[in-house]
Structure 1
Amino acid sequence: MKIPIRQRMKTLSIGDTVIIYLSDKTPVYEHESGYMICSYYALGTEKRGN
């Protein structure tokens, strides 16, 4: 799954969780042997172990 990031994110580490808030009607496109979402409401992260 590819999602274009439109804002600066804090440093991510392996094991961190990325939370993406989408509409139920958000289109999902096939892209380079995978999928791509071009829009979302918000994006958040949780550090590993939280």
Structure 2
Amino acid sequence: MAKIEAVLRKPVVKQGDNGCFEVTIGIGWSVDGIVGFITYDSYGEFRF
């Protein structure tokens, strides 16, 4: 699993970009699902 995580994190090393593993997506107490990896950049763009 460590190799997969390293490959996913590689494009996120730019300043202003962030990434996180195992993110729960939902509103309030309702859980709609879990995303394996999500990124957010300084332009406000999310990628799953």
Output the TM-score relative to the length of structure 1: 0.34
**Higher relative contact order, structure no. (Cα contacts within 8 Å, ≥ 6 residues apart):** 1
User: More helix per residue: 1 or 2?
Assistant: 2
